[in-house]
Amino acid sequence: MSRVSRLLLTAQAVFVLGLATCAVLDPRGLGSNHGWSYYEGRADTVAPYVIGFVATIALVAYAAVVAARSDAARGLGWGLAWLALFLALDVASPDSVNEAFYWAHDLTSAALFLYELGFAIWLVRTYARTGMGVALVVAQLCGGLVAMFSQLQVISGLGLGILVFQLSFGALLVIATTDLRDAIGDGAFSVDHVAEAARSRG
């Protein structure tokens, strides 16, 4: 498993741990059609929610730096950096403050979901052209549809849809980056490896 993959796996674990802590403190959020923002707007769960999110963002941002110095396709480092930015914008716009924040949160959440879906398709085409990779994108899309129709108040399953979407995307990130070579500069690369990576980037 590459350093990038380990960092992304840790980010996923931290994210789930933060959410699980919130769910233990207030199980009502699991059945709420308010999504995970339910936990950001409550005094007893805002700390683990924000800590989990911020730690996840930091790990994804660090993974972006490591990916940029590896033999990864050029788009991976930038893709992870943009992912960290979209996550930061989402957590920085809690929808419980006022109406302006509510709409800002809806817009940033929609942008995050669309970005993650597009990034997932790129990951499958670039790194994970397997049945598992395709299955994870399909699962992600299904979770996104559940979240979308819940947001439109057609059904009630926003939290579940988001959970399926994010876990599928997180698993794809880890799988797609598992076989990357270690970062340039840590002794794992020879001159030939560096030259080969440069040629592949074109």
CA distance 29 to 150: 14
Digit-coded pLDDT (tens) for 3-55: 999 999 999 999 999 999 999 999 887 777 777 888 888 889 999 999 999 99
CA dihedral (120, 122, 127, 131) positive or negative: positive
CA distance 96 to 89: 15
The model's pTM is 0.84
8 A C-beta contact, residue 35 and residue 147:
yes
8 A C-beta contact, residue 180 and residue 5:
yes
CA distance 149 to 141: 12
Q: Helices 158-176 and 131-151, interaxial angle, to 10°?
A: 160
The pLDDT value given to residue 188: 39
pLDDT band at 159 (very low <50, low <70, confident <90, very high): confident
Digit-coded pLDDT (tens) for 43-75: 899 999 999 999 999 999 999 999 988 777 778
If one counts every other C-beta atom within 10 angstroms of the C-beta of residue 157, the result is: 17
8 A C-beta contact, residue 15 and residue 54:
no
Whether 113 shows a pLDDT value over 90: the answer reads: yes
Domain boundaries, the chain: 3-201
Tell which residue, 27, 20, 137, has the closest CA to residue 145: 137
Q: Residues of the chain with pLDDT > 70: what percent?
A: 88
